[in-house]
Structure formats: C-alpha cells, structure tokens
Amino acid sequence: MSAEIENPVLEIHDLTVTYSKKPVLWDVDMTIPKGSLAGIIGPNGAGKSTLIKSIMGLVPIASGYIKIFDKDLKEVRKNVSYVPQRGSVDWDFPASVVDVVMMGRYGHLGFFNYPKKADKEVALDALRKVGMDAYKNRQISELSGGQQQRVFLARAIAQQADIYFMDEPFAGVDAATERAIISLLKELADKGKTIVVVHHDLQTAPNYFDWMVLLNTRLVAHGPTQEVFNDENLKETYGGKLTLLSEISKLLENKRFPAREAK
Amino acid sequence: MESLLEFFSFSDHNVQSVVIGSIWLTASCAIVGTFSFLKKRTLVGDAVAHSVLPGVCLAFILSGSKNPLYLIPGAFLTGWLSLVLIDKIVAHSKIKEDTAIGLILSVFFGLGILALTYIQHTDYANQSGLDHFLFGKAASIVREDLLIFSVIAIILMISVILYFKEFMLISFDEEFAQSIGVPVRRIELLLTTLTVLAVVIGIQAVGVVLMAAMLITPAAAARFWTNDLKILMLLAALFGAFSGISGAYVSYTAPAMPTGPWIVVILSTIAILSFLFAPTKGTLFRLLKQVKIKRKIKDENTLKTMFYMGEELSSFYHPMEVEEMISKRKMQKSSLEKSLLRLKKEGYLEKEKTGWVLTKAGKEKGQRIVKLHRLWEVYLTKYLNIAPDHVHDDAENIEHVITPELEERLEKLLNYPETDPHQSKIPY
Ligand SMILES: Nc1ncnc2c1ncn2[C@@H]1O[C@H](COP(=O)(O)OP(=O)(O)O)[C@@H](O)[C@H]1O
Ligand SMILES: [Mg+2]
C-alpha cells in the first residue's frame, strides 16, 4: 500500500541499501508531503536509522534515488537538518552547550569563517526554544539524557532548515522533555517545515504523527496516519512474515552475491 | 647545578638548537595529538610511529645522508603507506581495525629493525646515530635541522588553526559533519597527514617506540584541567614543550641517555599529578568533596535527632546527652562527638554541664530537615503511590539533597500538609 501525493518534499524511489552485501533496505518507494510530522516506525534492526542515513548521504546506496525538494541533497543541504541518535557521540567531549548548538551554524559558514554575532544570536534563540538557555555555558558531560537531546534539537533548530530528520529523539528522555519536544515539533510543522522522526513507541505514535512510514527492511506501508496505522499493517511490520526475505538476506551475505547487478 | 645554568643560559649554539628544536617537536606533537586523543585513535598514532622506521632507513641507504631533508620524505612515505594498508585491510577483509593495526605495526617495525641492523653491519661512514630514532636523542638536533623542523611545526600549527572548526566537528560528531556538507574524508586525510608529519619530526626527540605516548599523554593530562577545547590544546602544547625542554636538558647533560623515555616519564608524571590534583576532575578534589558531603549529612542527622528528642520532650532547648542521642538513632559515639563539636563551632549547639543544647539556629536547621523528610514521604505516597511503610528510607537520603527552591515548590505542590503518612506533625 502506498500513497501518491503531489509535490512531495521527500521522494524516495526504489531505494536499496546493503551492508557488506547484506540488504538492509529493500526496494523502498515512498514520499512525504510538505508540512507533515512523519513517523518512521518499525522494530529494532528494521533499517530505520539506515533509511535516514541514506537520505543524508551517510551510507552508500546500492540502487535507487532520493530527491529532497525535487533536488539532490547536495543542492539543498542548507535546508536539511539531521539529528543523529544521541548515543552516537561522546558526551565527554570538551565542549559547552552553546558550542554544540553553534555547530548548527557551521553549514552556513564554510571554510575559514568563524561564527559572527548573528550566528550567536540564532544559537541562543534555539536554546531558548528548547528551554535550555539557562544551561548555555554548561559542560555537555554534565547534562541529563533529556537535556542532551534538547541540545541536539537546538543545534538542529539553529540550522534554520526546512526539513528535519531525527533519529529516535525520544529514546531515554524524561516525560517532560518528550512533551516539550513534541510540541516544538508540532509548532515547526505548523509553520510549514517537514519533520521526519524515527520512533518505536506504538502507544504514542498515532498521537504524535500525521504521516507514517511502516518499515521492516522493506516498506510495509506509508501514508496518512489514519489510513495506514491499522492492525494488519502493524502485524506485517512487527510479525514474522518476513522470514523468507531475511533468509535470502542471509544467503546473499554468506555467498556475497551483489544485491543488485553492477551497472 | 652548573650544567643547569650553562644549559639555560643558551650560550652554546648547540644548546639553542636542541632546546628550540625539542620545543617545536613536542609542542606540535601535543597539538596534533589532541585530536588523536579526542577521536580515540591512539593505536593509529602508534602504528604510524613504528611504520616510519623502515622509511627512515631506506632514505638513509639511498641517500647515504642523515639530513632530515631526505629522511623526512622517507619516513612520511612508509608512515602513510601503513595507514593506507590498514584501511584497505579493514575494507576488504573480515579483519577488524585493531588487529589490522597490530599487524601493520609489527610488520613495518620488523622491517625497520631489519634495515637498521643491515645498516649497522655495512660501513656507511656516518651510520652511527640512526638508531637514535628508536628512542630519540634530542641532543642530535643540529642547527641545519632546526629550519626544517620549524617550517614543519609552523605548517602544523597554522593548519590546526585554520581547520579548527572542521577538526572539532569530525572529532565530536562525524555524521553530523557529513550531513552539513563538511568533506569528512578530505578533512580526515588532512588530519592524518598532519599526524604523520608530527610523528616524522617528533621521532628525532622521542623515538618511534614511545611516540604514541607523546601524541596522547599531553592532551590526556590537559583534559583534567579544562573543558574548553582551545585551552586544552594550549595546555597540551605547554605540557609537551615542558617535557621537551626537560628531555633536551637530560640529553645535554647525559649524552648517552636516550631522550624519549625521559620525555615520556615527565609527561606521565604531569598526567598523574593532573589526575590526582586537578580541581573538580582530580581524584583528591573528588575525595575531599565526598568527605564534606558525608560530614554534612552526619551533622544534619545529629540536629534532626536532637529535634526529634525535643519534640518528645516538648522542649527543644533542653540539654541532651550523647548516650540518649545514640539510643534514639544508631550512630558511632566517636563520630557523633566529632559532629557535635563541629556543630558547636558553627553555632548550632552549646555545651552545658548536663549535655548539649540546641541554639535557635540549630533548632531551625533540625526542624527543616525533619520537615523535608516528612514532606518527601507525603510526596512519595501521594504522587507515586508508594506504600507508607516504604517511604522512610528514601526520605532519609532526599532530605539532605533538597534545595530551598525545591523545598518551596514541594510545599506549594502539597499545599502545606499537616501530617506525614505516619501521622507525625510536619513542623513549619
Ligand atoms: N555499519 C553497519 N554495518 C553492518 N551492519 C549494520 C551497520 N549498521 C546497521 N547494520 C545492520 O543493519 C540493520 C538495520 O540497522 P538500523 O538501520 O540501525 O536499524 P534500526 O534503526 O531500525 O534499529 C541491522 O540488522 C543492523 O545490524
Ligand atoms: Mg536505529
């Protein structure tokens, strides 16, 4: 099941991604409309992070293409923001909260340029939006998990992008932070920004997102939440129907066949 | 002593070269090494350091000269080759990075030792001295070397300043860096090249065997003193330079002594001292802080106990004896007595013939702790639905932690309850 929409801000066509020949995403075709708050849902190891990383050009893709605002990532990079999983960085790194948020401005600066006053104001404003302005000079190692996530979010806001990709922003954060983050994301979406969030809590998912992508190696369904978030699709996403596919994956890995013929 | 004066007067041109050279080498290694430290790439630095040896020997065999103008390209070549090979092995086989590093390191170092042995058994006129590259010899730096070292060191430092932003970004969050369009591969390549360069000039003073320590230790020691990356690099450079001067001095006064081990011993001493004595992060500071917290808790418990006894007696300013306090709350007598003396000094207690008496301030402090204890019990039972018989132990800890702001919020939230879950009155 899939949805055709006009003028999607994100269009993925026939995407296949492999890690040392083992397919992790298989033939993914999907679109996301402008201004949506979209959830990418699926079990552990479904390839959710890989999907976002391939959109951001962080992992090589075996086949297919990805268009953002109908263009290649390279042309629209300044309008795209990526929030990695919180656990992917070393929080003992010698940096303060504002140092990290300032990194959100680096994409606009280019080589040999250092942040100007205007950049600092953008960074401080972003910190205010996530309620962390009181912590701006705090060492990042002294932050709680929820605060770390807010800092990552502030860095993304400082990028002043039009589309945001966030990997598990709610993992390991307290309830208050989760509420604060989701209302901030809704606010951004209301302003016409597009937010794509990897999420794995099925309880909260339908309340948070107006668009959903159900994923388990292949795309199970995507579309407006009320159309795709149903028992049948969830069973297919989380159930054991994919044994054949996973066995073929393993075969490919062991035999080292290419998943796609070389062009 | 005399040698010290002679050394630091720099009257001898040789001494000048040795000192300035050593500072350049060790400081630039420390600066570039900061990023190896932050990226946790210690092993790679070690591999490069060992892998430059065959290059040095090869360059010597081909040129017949010990001039760094020839040796540095040779060292650079094999140092680089080792990194490329490590990358290839990891990319094209199932061998993990640490294994690949170990493999390359030993093969290249083995080849280097082989070449060194070969050189020593031939009659190259000035072969003596090449083995200094194993453990370093600062005193062998001569005036002609200095120019080359200075140029390389300045290139290193300028590159780090120019690309500071990018180096920091790829060290902290490589994926984010790539997502905003930083050419991560190229920046990595540049950083690696700088590391190889630093190693190549550094081996003159430190030697290949201990080079990894020269790269990492200054930054590791500096990390204890600061949380700011720029200051960290400056400190690392200072630590490096200090160890460099010391190494040069040792090398000057005892020419037979290899410099590398001395430099590393001095660096390690700095690191250990930092580990012990640095404020906030140092072990001593942490221990002291723990002791202070323990004392604070003990003293608050003493006051609390006396407040309880006052509640029972309906008189808070009644003299109380140590034995009574112990029967009320299990405490060690000696530690209780120390706590009482501390509290007296702080003005919370008075000592009278028949026992200890709370002052007004002491009563209020004890009362506050009791209030917090009981409020917290109410909070736990009311908001977290914890059974009343389970809340006491938790409150025992929390009562010492709650700040005045939290206290106010707690009072407002619970709306000043009269009693705690055990029906004890909450004193306001
Ligand atoms: N760098 C990698 N190399 C090899 N396999 C990987 C790598 N990253 C992820 N995988 C594998 O790819 C699959 C999908 O991973 P991922 O995208 O992280 O899933 P999710 O985010 O949905 O939990 C998993 O089976 C995982 O083990
Ligand atoms: Mg993931």
Measuring from atom 3 of ligand 1, which residue has the nearest CA? A19
Nearest by CB to B227, which of A80, A89, A139? A139
Q: Is A212 exposed, middle or buried (0-12, 13-18, 19+ CB in 10 A)?
A: buried
Q: Which of A183, A176, A234, A215 is nearest to A39 (CA)?
A: A215
The token pair at A197 is 């969030």
Q: Looking at residue B140, what is its pLDDT?
A: 81
Identify the domain containing residue A207 by its residue range: 10-254
Q: Looking at residue A262, what is its pLDDT?
A: 43
- Under a CB-based contact definition with an 8 Å cutoff, are residues A166 and A196 in contact? yes
Residues of B in contact with A99 (CB under 8 A): 229
The answer for B 17-46 residues in CB contact with A (under 8 A) is 38, 40
> What SS3 state is found at A23?
strand
In this predicted model, what pLDDT tens digit does every residue of B412-423 receive, in sequence order? 888 888 888 888
Residues of B in contact with A109 (CB under 8 A): 165
Per-residue confidence band for B110, with pLDDT thresholds at 50, 70 and 90:
very high
Q: Is A160 exposed, middle or buried (0-12, 13-18, 19+ CB in 10 A)?
A: middle
Enumerate the CATH 1.10.3470.10 domain ranges in chain B, comma separated: 9-279
Q: Which of B201, B198, B202, B205 is nearest to B251 (CA)?
A: B205
Measuring from atom 4 of ligand 1, which residue has the nearest CA? A19
For β-strands A63-68 and A10-19, DSSP reports them as antiparallel
Q: Looking at residue B17, what is its pLDDT?
A: 85
Per-residue confidence band for B124, with pLDDT thresholds at 50, 70 and 90:
low
Q: Which of B39, B36, B45 is nearest to A90 (CA)?
A: B39
Residues of B in contact with A114 (CB under 8 A): 165
Per-residue confidence band for A263, with pLDDT thresholds at 50, 70 and 90:
very low
Q: Quick one: average pLDDT of A246-258?
A: 55
Q: How far apart are CA B321 and CA B336, in angstroms?
A: 11
* Domain B9-279 grouped into CATH 1.10.3720.10: no
Mean pLDDT, chain B, whole residue set: 89
A170 CA → ligand 1 middle, Å: 19
In this predicted model, what pLDDT tens digit does every residue of B6-53 receive, in sequence order? 777 777 777 888 888 899 999 999 999 999 999 988 888 899 999 999
Contact state of A93 with B162 under an 8 Å Cβ cutoff: no
In this predicted model, what pLDDT tens digit does every residue of B230-264 receive, in sequence order? 999 999 999 999 999 988 888 888 878 888 898 99
Nearest by CB to A103, which of B163, B176, B178? B176
The token pair at A208 is 């948070």
Question: Beta partners for A121?
Answer: none
Nearest by CB to A107, which of B172, B180, B227? B180
Q: How far apart are the first and last CA of chain A?
A: 29
Q: Which of B238, B222, B200, B219 is nearest to B77 (CA)?
A: B200
Residues of A in contact with B175 (CB under 8 A): 53, 56, 58, 82, 84, 88
Does residue A46 lie within any of the structural domains?
yes
> What SS3 state is found at A210?
coil
CA-to-CA separations, B108 to B103, B112, B212, in angstroms, rounded: 9, 6, 16
Q: How far apart are CA B372 and CA B38, in angstroms?
A: 44
Q: For the domain bounded by B282-428, which CATH number is listed?
A: 1.10.10.10
Phi and psi of B423, rounded to 5°? 65, 20
Residue spans of alpha helices (H) in A43-133: 48-55, 73-76, 97-109, 117-129
Q: Looking at residue A248, what is its pLDDT?
A: 55
In this predicted model, what pLDDT tens digit does every residue of A179-229 receive, in sequence order? 999 999 999 999 999 999 999 888 889 999 999 999 999 999 999 999 999
Chain B: give the shortest CA distance to residue A224, in Å.
28
A45 CA → ligand 1 middle, Å: 6
A226 CA → ligand 2 middle, Å: 25
Does residue A260 lie within any of the structural domains?
no
> Which residue has better confidence, B380 or B99?
B99
Q: What percent of chain B has pLDDT over 70?
A: 98
Does residue A33 lie within any of the structural domains?
yes
What amino acid occupies position B387? Answer: A
In this predicted model, what pLDDT tens digit does every residue of A145-186 receive, in sequence order? 999 999 999 999 999 999 999 999 998 888 888 999 999 999
Q: Is 60 exceeded by the pLDDT of residue A255?
A: no
Contact state of A103 with B232 under an 8 Å Cβ cutoff: no
| Pocket mutation for ligand 1, best pick of A50, A54, A83 (most atoms within 8 Å of C-beta) | A50
Q: What percent of chain B has pLDDT over 90?
A: 50
Q: Is 80 exceeded by the pLDDT of residue A1?
A: no
In this prediction the pTM is 0.83
Q: Quick one: average pLDDT of B68-73?
A: 88
| Pocket mutation for ligand 1, best pick of A49, A51, A242, A256 (most atoms within 8 Å of C-beta) | A49
Q: Which residue of B has its CA nearest to A103?
A: B169
Q: Quick one: average pLDDT of B282-290?
A: 89
User: Which of A49, A89, A153 best probes binding to B when mutated, by most B CB atoms within 10 angstroms?
Assistant: A89
Q: Report the CATH number that the domain containing residue A75 is assigned in CATH.
A: 3.40.50.300
Does residue A261 lie within any of the structural domains?
no
Chain B: give the shortest CA distance to residue A103, in Å.
7
Least confident of B124-128, B205-209, B346-350: B124-128
> What SS3 state is found at A153?
helix
A24 CA → ligand 1 middle, Å: 7
Does residue A173 lie within any of the structural domains?
yes
Q: Looking at residue B164, what is its pLDDT?
A: 95
Give the number of A-B residue pairs with CB atoms closer than 8 Å.
66
Phi and psi of A215, rounded to 5°? -135, 135
- Under a CB-based contact definition with an 8 Å cutoff, are residues A117 and B202 in contact? no
Q: Looking at residue A242, what is its pLDDT?
A: 47
Which atom of ligand 1 lies nearest, measured to the CA of A198? 21
> Which residue has better confidence, B16 or B113?
B113
Sign of the C-alpha dihedral computed for residues B262, B267, B271 and B273 taken in this order = positive
- Under a CB-based contact definition with an 8 Å cutoff, are residues A36 and A8 in contact? no
Contact state of A94 with B179 under an 8 Å Cβ cutoff: no
> What SS3 state is found at A172?
coil
Chain A: give the shortest CA distance to residue B257, in Å.
37
Residues of A in contact with B168 (CB under 8 A): 95
Q: Indicate which ligand has the atom closest to the C-alpha of A84.
A: 2
The total number of structural domains in chain A stands at 1
- Under a CB-based contact definition with an 8 Å cutoff, are residues A125 and A152 in contact? no
Does residue A262 lie within any of the structural domains?
no
Q: Which residues line ligand 1 (CB under 6 A)?
A: A 19, 24, 42, 44-50
Residues of A in contact with B171 (CB under 8 A): 93
Residues of B in contact with A93 (CB under 8 A): 38, 171-172
Enumerate the CATH 1.10.10.10 domain ranges in chain B, comma separated: 282-428
Given CB atoms, is B383 within the 8 Å cutoff of chain A? Answer: no
> What is residue A192's DSSP assignment?
T
The token pair at B359 is 């002052």
Mean pLDDT, chain A, whole residue set: 88
Chain A interface, Cβ < 8 Å to B = 53, 56-58, 74, 77, 80-82, 84, 88-90, 93-96, 99-100, 103, 106-107, 109, 111-112, 114, 139, 141, 155, 159
In this predicted model, what pLDDT tens digit does every residue of A11-61 receive, in sequence order? 999 999 998 788 899 999 999 999 999 999 999 889 999 999 999 999 999
How are strands ordered across the β-sheet holding A80-83?
A80-83, A163-167, A194-199, A37-41, A211-216, A218-224
- Under a CB-based contact definition with an 8 Å cutoff, are residues B35 and B167 in contact? yes
Per-residue confidence band for A260, with pLDDT thresholds at 50, 70 and 90:
low
What amino acid occupies position B195? Answer: T
Q: Which residues surround ligand 2, an ion (CB under 5 A)?
A: A 49
B405 CA → ligand 1 middle, Å: 45
